[in-house]
Amino acid sequence: MTTTVAAAAVGTATRAGVEVRLENLQRRYAGVTALDGLSLTMAPGELVALLGPSGCGKTTALRLVAGLEQADSGRVVVGGEDVTGQPTNKRDVGMVFQAYSLFPHLTAWQNVAFGLQMRKVDARQRRQRAGEMLELVGLSGFADRFAHQLSGGQQQRVALARALAIQPKVLLLDEPLSALDAKVRARLRDEIRRVQLEVGITTLFVSHDQEEALAIADRVGVMHSGRIEQLGPPTTIYSRPATPFVAEFVGLTNRLPGVVRGGEVDVRGSRLPLVQPDTADGPAIALVRPEAVSVASGGETAAAPLVGTVIATAFLGATSRVTIDLGDITVLAQLPTSEATALPAGTRVRIAIRADPVLISRDEAAPERA
Amino acid sequence: MTRARRLRLRVFRVIVLVLGGAFFLVPIGAMFEFSTRGNRVGAPRTLEAWTTIVTYPDLLGAIRDSLGLATITSVGMLVLLLPTMIWVRLRLPRLKRTIEFLCLLPLTIPAIVLVVGLSPVYRWMAINLVDTIFLLSFAYLILVLPFAYRALDAGLSAIDVKTLSEAARSLGAGWGTVMFRVIAPNMASALLNACLLSVALVLGEFTFANLLSYLNLQVEIFQLGLANAGTSIAVSVASLMFAFILLVILSFFGRPRKRVAPERTGLPYPIAAAGPR
A97 touches B: beta carbon within 8 Å: yes
* pLDDT attached to residue A113: 95
* pLDDT attached to residue B274: 33
ipTM, two decimals, is 0.80
A109 touches B: beta carbon within 8 Å: yes
Tens of pLDDT, residue by residue over B80-90, are 999 999 999 98
Of the two residues A298 and A279, the one the predictor is more confident about is A279
β-strands A93-96, A170-174 pairing: parallel
* pLDDT attached to residue A9: 39
* pLDDT attached to residue B181: 92
* pLDDT attached to residue B275: 33
Domain span(s) for CATH 3.40.50.300 in chain A: 3-244
Q: Give the DSSP letter of residue B167.
A: H
Cα separation, B18 vs B247, in Å, equals 19
167-186 in A: which are within 8 Å (CB) of B? 172
Q: Which residue of B has its CA nearest to A115?
A: B171
Q: Give the DSSP letter of residue A365.
A: P
Q: Do A105 and B185 touch (CB under 8 A)?
A: yes
Q: Do B170 and A93 touch (CB under 8 A)?
A: yes
Three-class DSSP category at A313: strand
Tens of pLDDT, residue by residue over A218-257, are 999 999 999 999 999 999 998 888 888 998 898 888 989 9
**Is the pLDDT reported for residue A274 higher than 80?**
yes
A204 touches B: beta carbon within 8 Å: no
* pLDDT attached to residue A367: 42
Count other Cβ atoms within 10 Å, centred on residue B110. Answer: 9
A97 contacts on B by Cβ (under 8 Å): 163, 166-167
DSSP string, B219-249: HHHHHHHHH-HHHHHHHHHHHHHHHHHHHHH
Cα separation, B61 vs B55, in Å, equals 11
Q: What is the mean pLDDT of residues A174-185?
A: 85
Three-class DSSP category at A314: strand
Between the CA of residue A287 and those of A260, B66, B225, what are the distances in Å?
A: 13, 79, 91
> What's the whole-number average pLDDT of chain B?
84
- The candidate with the shortest Cα–Cα distance to A367, out of A51, A62, A59, is A51
Cα separation, B70 vs B72, in Å, equals 6
**Is the pLDDT reported for residue B117 higher than 60?**
yes
HSE (side-chain half, CA atoms, 13 Å) at A274: 23
Tens of pLDDT, residue by residue over B22-69, are 998 999 999 999 989 877 777 888 888 888 887 887 878 888 899 899
Q: What is the mean pLDDT of residues A204-211?
A: 92
User: Virtual CA dihedral for A44, A45, A47, A50, nearest 10 degrees?
Assistant: 30
Q: What share of chain A is helix, strand, coil (3-state, %, to 5)?
A: 30, 35, 35
* pLDDT attached to residue A10: 42
Q: Is B42 left (phi over 0), alpha (psi -120 to 50) or beta?
A: left
Q: What is the mean pLDDT of residues B1-21?
A: 92
Q: Do B277 and A95 touch (CB under 8 A)?
A: no
Give the contacts of B219 (CB within 8 A, at least 6 positions apart). Answer: B62, B206, B209, B210
Instruction: Please identify, in words, the CATH class of the domain defined by A252-361.
Output: mainly beta
A130 touches B: beta carbon within 8 Å: yes
Least trusted range by pLDDT, from B11-15, B45-49, B75-79, B169-173:
B45-49
Tens of pLDDT, residue by residue over A104-158, are 999 999 999 999 999 999 999 999 999 999 998 888 899 999 999 999 889 999 9
Q: What is the mean pLDDT of residues B182-202?
A: 90
Q: Which residue of B has its CA nearest to A163?
A: B171
Q: How far is A187 from chain B (nearest CA, A)?
A: 11
Percent of chain B clearing pLDDT 70 (strictly above): 90
Tens of pLDDT, residue by residue over A89-99, are 999 999 999 98
* pLDDT attached to residue A42: 95
**Is the pLDDT reported for residue B183 higher than 70?**
yes
Could you tell me the CATH superfamily of domain A3-244? P-loop containing nucleotide triphosphate hydrolases (3.40.50.300)
* pLDDT attached to residue B256: 52
A78 touches B: beta carbon within 8 Å: no
> What's the whole-number average pLDDT of chain A?
87
Q: Are A9 and A135 in contact (CB under 8 A)?
A: yes
* pLDDT attached to residue B253: 64
Nearest Cβ partner for B186 among A104, A130, A151 = A104
Q: Do B260 and A146 touch (CB under 8 A)?
A: yes
* pLDDT attached to residue B10: 94
Distance of CA A270 to the CA centre of its chain: 33
Tens of pLDDT, residue by residue over A35-55, are 999 999 999 999 999 999 988
* pLDDT attached to residue A368: 40
Between the CA of residue A323 and those of A250, A295, A340, A351, A366, what are the distances in Å?
A: 19, 11, 10, 11, 20
Give the contacts of B195 (CB within 8 A, at least 6 positions apart). Answer: B74, B77, B78
Q: Which residue of A has its CA nearest to B264?
A: A144
Report the residue count for chain B.
277
Nearest Cβ partner for A154 among B188, B266, B277 = B277
Q: Do A148 and B167 touch (CB under 8 A)?
A: no
Domain span(s) for CATH 2.40.50.100 in chain A: 252-361
Q: What is the mean pLDDT of residues B246-273?
A: 50
A195-206 burial, b at 16+ Cβ within 10 Å, e below that, comes to bbebbebbbbbb
pLDDT band, very low/low/confident/very high, at A18 (cuts 50, 70, 90): very high
Nearest Cβ partner for B170 among A88, A128, A154 = A88
Query: What is the interface size between A and B, counted as CB pairs within 8 Å?
Result: 107
* pLDDT attached to residue A1: 37
Q: Do A99 and B277 touch (CB under 8 A)?
A: no
Q: What is the mean pLDDT of residues A307-324?
A: 91
* pLDDT attached to residue A276: 83
Count other Cβ atoms within 10 Å, centred on residue A280. Answer: 7
Cα separation, A73 vs A79, in Å, equals 20
* pLDDT attached to residue B254: 57
Three-class DSSP category at B28: helix
Least trusted range by pLDDT, from A6-20, A315-329, B20-34, B199-213:
A6-20
Give the contacts of A220 (CB within 8 A, at least 6 positions apart). Answer: A48, A49, A50, A51, A213, A214, A231, A232, A233, A234, A237
**Is the pLDDT reported for residue A304 higher than 70?**
no
**Is the pLDDT reported for residue A3 higher than 70?**
no
Instruction: Name the packing angle between helices B229-253 and B188-203 (round to 10°).
Output: 170
* pLDDT attached to residue A50: 95
Q: How far is A241 from chain B (nearest CA, A)?
A: 35
**Is the pLDDT reported for residue B260 higher than 60?**
no
Q: Which domains occur in chain B, in start order?
A: 56-253 (1.10.3720.10)
Mutation target to probe the B interface, by most B beta carbons within 10 A, among A107, A114, A191 is A114
pLDDT band, very low/low/confident/very high, at B261 (cuts 50, 70, 90): very low
Q: Do A115 and B172 touch (CB under 8 A)?
A: yes
